[in-house]
Structure 1
């Protein structure tokens, strides 16, 4: 197992110290708020050309202006991307030209209180957090393959411990809708994507990993959570909430560290690869450390890929 020299308290700036990304191109989804902004900022500081792929281009433009004003090494630009709308994803990938060195699937929605469906008819957590990013990555595959050692980093969550992917009822047609189960299922899907992309794209020189950023409560991700649920989550957290810099650190380590060159198909938390929680653990607490067996199961990963391929056409 490839360990790194970083840990829980590492910040994104510490993680990227000494690393140069001049001439490298990156896409960061959801980079108009939260840890997406911090991720984009430090990549630009290191010299990368970063595309902020955001649902609100005006908000993205404000962030890009701030990043560019403070940095002269790299640059930030903005492109519209609504992950819940597959037509928007297709427009983004069709417009992309040239190689892509780094794809950070950072954007997400969490705890949507009522069941909602995407324009294509998929439960909105699954559609946004997984299917949109799946369509984005597959649509950019050739650009990633054209780069030298491209990396994909997909943000998942410890919330994946709440639910595997229910292949028989992804959309909650038969079972009662639960916002945290919907979120958990989509976060499991993020890990499974990394597992299967690692297998399928290894010969293309592309690595794919999933990262849990840690508990960062005061970001836009928690905007749908009821106040009492959010306060309960803060109260029961086993660790002090991370800063935005600490929350972006695991992404930056996995995206840029030479220590992880060639490492693929793994789940990381606190800047380190995590142990797998085995099938024998029948009641996994939501605050547990590690990745659930069902989220790294190769059969589940292959099954999800086939489902997703059909879903995005």
Structure 2
């Protein structure tokens, strides 16, 4: 499906505000570009590194050149998801920024949040600043803090305009995840990450974190709809496997540059789809009128591919493991995150 055909199938987002965590690289960058091309004001929320700044400029250039929609723009906002305080502080400063940029001078609006940022292959010899395994801290806990700290402006947007979206990026890898061990999430592993033999454990932690993200989306959706906020549509998706992402590239010593390059070169032989294709499912969940009209919420979506591995569409998938469908596990994750936040005043 060509970009113009795809964009024309979605809503015009002119006047709407979107946030994409990890929106400066990989699938997140393509998500930013597509939302901007639809007319949204997009805030890339990411670390302020050299690659992040380059990604912001790349997104701005492509959005400015797009003629199918008008009004789209790209802005940068610093976000470090590795700690509770930095995630919370970033959310509060983002709300101030949105308010300052509001044409009416009010609190502004936040229509779309795409929780896309993720890390992988982080060694567990060093925990996050709050004492949690870093992959879980960034991929799940940081997003919990960031999104819940933004809920007031998301809720006000939904009440005024009748539509707000929160989309989480998980992975079909949840099917290989293990039951979350909350004690292990706070326990460092001495010397972990000093050998390539530790890659298996690091990858398992990534899969487990993506199951946690799925739980987070499900629990947040339940919490919102119990409170009768029926215009906030929370969904979670698998974007699809693509070779050209930044995932794990900077997690030395586990993933050295030569190893990352070799893995990507091998994957390109078998994977013909692109990061732009992989962004389409989360953009659809964020920008299609069907989500609002059909009251789509609390669902897990994934892309469909042709035999030649070209994107052909997207749709709901039923969760395929008992662990993923266990509502008690959703609530355990939610309670764990709430407890973690309560310890950081």
Task: State whether TM-score is above 0.5.
Answer: yes
1:293 Cα deviation from its structure 2 partner: 2.9
* Secondary structure class of the residue paired with 2:220: helix
Q: What SS does structure 2 have at the residue aligned with 1:76?
A: strand
In the alignment, structure 1 residue 299 sits paired with structure 2 residue 328? yes
C-alpha distance in 2 between matches for 1:215 and 1:200: 30
Matches within 5 A, 1:66-77: 66-71=61-66, 72-77=70-75
Larger relative contact order, structure 1 or 2 (CA cutoff 8 Å, min sep 6): 1
Find the counterpart in structure 2 of residue 288 from structure 1.
none
Q: 1:234 to 1:114 in 2, by over 3 A?
A: farther
Instruction: Confirm or deny that 1:219 pairs with 2:240.
Output: no
Q: 2:223 is matched with which residue?
A: 200
Q: Structure 2 vs 1, CA of residues 78 and 61 (structure 1 numbering), >3 Å: closer, same or farther?
A: same
Aligned to 1:161: 175
Contact 2:173/2:207 (8 A) holds in 1: yes
Runs (5+) with no aligned partner, structure 1 = 1-9, 278-291
Asked whether the 8 Å contact 2:132–2:187 carries over to 1, the reply is no
Aligned to 2:291: 260
2:62 and 2:89 map into 1 onto residues whose CA distance is: 25
Q: Output the aligned Cα RMSD.
A: 2.7
Structure 1 counterpart of 2:280: 249
8 Å CA contact 2:244–2:274 kept in 1: the answer is no
3-state SS of 2:185 partner: coil
Whole-angstrom CA distance in 1 between matches of 2:64 and 2:76? 15
TM-score (norm 2): 0.76
Deviation at 1:172, TM superposition (A): 6.5
Whether 2:151 is the aligned partner of 1:152: answer no
Contact 2:91 2:149 in 1 (8 A): yes
SS of structure 2 residue aligned to 1:276? coil
Q: What SS is found at the alignment partner of 1:140? A: helix
- Partner of 1:275 in structure 2? 318
Residue in structure 2 matched with residue 286 of structure 1 by the alignment:
none
- 1:6-61: CA deviation from partner (whole Å, max 9, x where unpaired): xxxx5665443242011111100111111111111111111111111011163454
Partner in structure 2 of residue 284 of structure 1: none
Q: Secondary structure at the match of 2:39?
A: coil
> What's the CA shift string for 1:164-194, capped at 9, x where partnerless?
3424434273989710111011100111111
Task: Say which is worse superposed, 52-61 or 256-265, in terms of deviation.
Answer: 52-61
> May I ask how many residue pairs the two structures share in their alignment?
290
1:196-221 per-residue CA deviation (whole Å, 9 max, x = no partner) reads: 11111122221211111111122111
1:13–1:42: 8 Å Cα contact kept in structure 2? no
Q: Are 1:139 and 2:182 counterparts?
A: no
Cα gap change, 1:256/1:172 in structure 2, threshold over 3 Å: closer, same or farther?
same
In the TM superposition, residue 154 of structure 1 has moved relative to its aligned partner by 0.5
Question: Hey, what does 2:8 align to over in structure 1?
Answer: 17
Q: Distance in 2 between matches of 1:20 and 1:152?
A: 18
TM-score scaled by length of structure 1: 0.83
Task: Flag the 1:80–1:236 CA change in 2: closer, same or farther, 3 A.
Answer: closer
Instruction: Note closer, same or farther for the CA distance 1:273–1:230 as it changes in structure 2 (3 Å cut).
Output: farther
From the CA coordinates, give the structure whose radius of gyration is larger. 2
